[in-house]
Amino acid sequence: MTVIYDKVALLGLGLIASSMAHAMRAGGLVREISGHARTADTRAVALEIAICDTVHASAAEAVRDADLVVLAVPVGAMGAIAAEIAPFLKPGATVTDVGSVKQSVIDAVAPHMPPSVHFVPGHPIAGTEYSGPRAGFATLFQNRWWLLTPLAQADMAAVARLRALLEAMGAKVDEMDAPHHDLVLAVTSHTPHLIAYTMVGVADDLRRVTDSEVIKYSAAGFRDFTRIAASDPTMWRDVFLNNKDATLEILGRFTEELFALQRAIRTGDGDHLFEYFTRTRAIRRGIIEAGQDTAAPDFGRSAEKT
């Protein structure tokens, strides 16, 4: 076990921050963890389950002497918290974030960062539909990607040190630029979430007509949709408001394909449907071969998503 940072400050004490705390503690990767949450309830839980050594009502107080500061609040709250802590950051400290969107977080946070501080934006591709400090667990990031989107002028040593922490927590780390990240995630996570939200909404409307049949005969596909659609409303509202362009671009393409399939069904074009489904089946096989999922029933998952 190697200590990578002496003191880490977690701002926002939800699923991601508490999972980081468990993982850092399990690996002996840091000496001290301070935390901040805006509500007294969350602070009390954080103390009760001992994910932090100290818990502060003030974010500025939490970052005092911290070598690494992690912004783990919803994407729309990143700018305000960055402005609040900026004057209190230790010179030479690294600030990272775990937001699901990168360019808008960079735009909101970077202008507040003092020149003596290294800002290295990041996003763990790991999560569950649960939120809050009690939802965290040490193995959340095990074998999951953690994408870093360093700025052009990033300090390589600071990036390498953060990468070492993330890898020691079990994550696989990759670097890319923020616009690329946002487009990739719009395809793999953001638009699928919107589709799940919509499908569950449609089924809910139907349920009023067919009583409880939608739930009673719910097959695995729809159950997966309901799990995804149970995700935190604040987090996902902020994701769509902050990844507007990429999500709208992918949604536009999705709608075109959906119309093509709709027409194939109406005109009885079975060849079109068969070819389309054959192509998508091959993509699924590719995901399994790349080790990103298992062929087990129910996708072999119990709790992960995004």
Interacting residues toward ligand NAP by CB under 6 A = 12-17, 37-39, 42, 72-75, 77, 81, 98-100, 123-124, 127, 131-132, 232, 234-235, 306
The rounded distance, in Å, linking the Cα atoms of 228 and 169 is: 25
Per the DSSP assignment, residues forming a β-bridge with 10 are: 35, 70
Largest Cα span, the chain: 67
CB nearer ligand NAP, residue 70 or residue 214: 70
Beta carbon of residue 23, minimum distance to ligand NAP (angstroms, whole number): 13
Identity of residue 292 = Q
Q: How far is CA 156 from CA 71, 147, 165, in A?
A: 20, 15, 14
Beta carbon of residue 1, minimum distance to ligand NAP (angstroms, whole number): 25
| Beta strand segments in 30-126, E | 30-36, 54-56, 68-71, 94-97, 118-124
Beta carbon of residue 34, minimum distance to ligand NAP (angstroms, whole number): 14
| Beta strand segments in 137-270, E | 145-148, 172-175
- Which tokens is 102 given? 């990168």
Beta carbon of residue 13, minimum distance to ligand NAP (angstroms, whole number): 4
CB nearer ligand NAP, residue 29 or residue 72: 72
CB nearer ligand NAP, residue 56 or residue 214: 56
Beta carbon of residue 89, minimum distance to ligand NAP (angstroms, whole number): 17
CB nearer ligand NAP, residue 12 or residue 170: 12
CB nearer ligand NAP, residue 287 or residue 303: 303
